[in-house]
Structure 1
Amino acid sequence: MGRVEGKVVIVTGGTGGMGESHVKKLIHEGAKVVFTDLDKEAGKALQEKMGERSLFIQQDVTDSDSWNKVIAEAEHHFGPVGVLVNNAGINYSAAIEVFPEEEYDRVIEVNQKAIFLGMRAVVSSMKKAGGGSIINISSIGGIRGRLESIAYSASKFAVTGMTKVAALELGKYQIRANSIHPSLVNTGMFSESSGGNAVASDRPLGRVLTKEEVSNLVLHLASDESSYTTGAECVIDGGLTAR
């Protein structure tokens, strides 16, 4: 049996990057995964690849009505939701003095408000399941400042706080809430970039984080192995923030 055998999971931003990695890892370990994204073509392709224990739903995570649809579809196809992975996120980089207001609002909507909407929507389903695990993807930008990322840092710091509030409020229902704080994640493009070695050398472990390593942490928090872990800031950064 897999480590999350039979659990019903929702993953947002699930068609590429870390999200796709989370979907694959959770299905491999026995979960039934509903994953959402704006990219319908990529979503349908991944669903076909992952088989009957996967379901793709096109979703704008900033739309509260879409969350009701996702929860209802998940329950209809697989049963009450036991795990929510709030993975969708965006960034916009600019100095404070020239940061566009509309871009600030957009980052906050996707990175912060959408997580609130997802947590609010999933509670009733997790109660039906007898408990659950909410996993909010934050960032090391949610525990320390980051240049030219005023909106991103604001949103990720907010995710850290919202997660702790959820842990306090929902513990009585055996619903856990934890945040994950990755440093920059290695991708094919990044690993080939001229700055890759310099970034890696700044970490005590001497290398850059992989998306599979983040997915391993997601899996742990989704599983019953972490049954007494809630309200935690789970940092995965190779020791970067220890400096």
Structure 2
Amino acid sequence: MLTLSNLSKRYSNGHLALSGIDLSVGPGEILGVVGGSGCGKSTLLRLISGLETPSDGRIEIGGSPVSGPRDEVGFVFQEPRLMPWLSIDDNVAFGIRHLAREERDVRVREALVRVGLAGFAGHWPRELSGGMAQRAALARALVGRPQILLLDEPFSALDALTRNDLQEHLLDLWAYDRPTMVLVTHDIEEALALSDRIVVMQPAPGRVQVTVTPPLSRPRDRASLEFQEWKRHLLAELHHSFVRPARQGDERFPAAAI
């Protein structure tokens, strides 16, 4: 579905944000991307979305090169970024204004029902809580029925209880039609709870340090010993990403899971 080949990004000021990224994400897969500040995680999503162009390498969706924003790619940012002068239903409909009014209204109603905001279509963004505003942002991304959904730390500004609730809600939304998802997060537990596969990034420039596939069944028990062991392992990988070269695995976490 999504393929990144030798992807690099150097900005006009000379800063090399990403170097030599090779990744493949399958249909319906949830890929988590974790790393410290300066790893180029957000840059990676902007490149995939077509909002920025790579300096080197290639991005393909379904075998077709990405040369700009595409209808089949949805994006959820760190902040809801709702337009305060538009009602919630108009915010959700913003990206599908090209559709016929009847089709647009059907899609907006469906998206709002899916995120639990069916009764708030006519409200204004200022009337929503932070969690509700982020649900509206999810609805806006889902209304275009994307094949790929990109999420840039979408719950980082929320309190712990709301964040956990929306994480579980995101999985329910994903199960509806199983889009391919790429989730950037600084939260190891969030990555483990949501992702099929997790990439740990190295900084300066951003590179892939290690990719792991935790063998955790769904729904995932965050209190289980296996979950906590994988959390400790990934925290160690994140720490080591700042002090040593990339590697493929270690003896405690065998290649079969990598």
TM-score tier, shorter chain, comes to: 0.3 to 0.5
Higher relative contact order (CA 8 A, sep 6+): 2
The structure having more radius of gyration, on CA atoms, is: 2
Structure with the larger strand share: 2
Structure with the larger helix share: 1
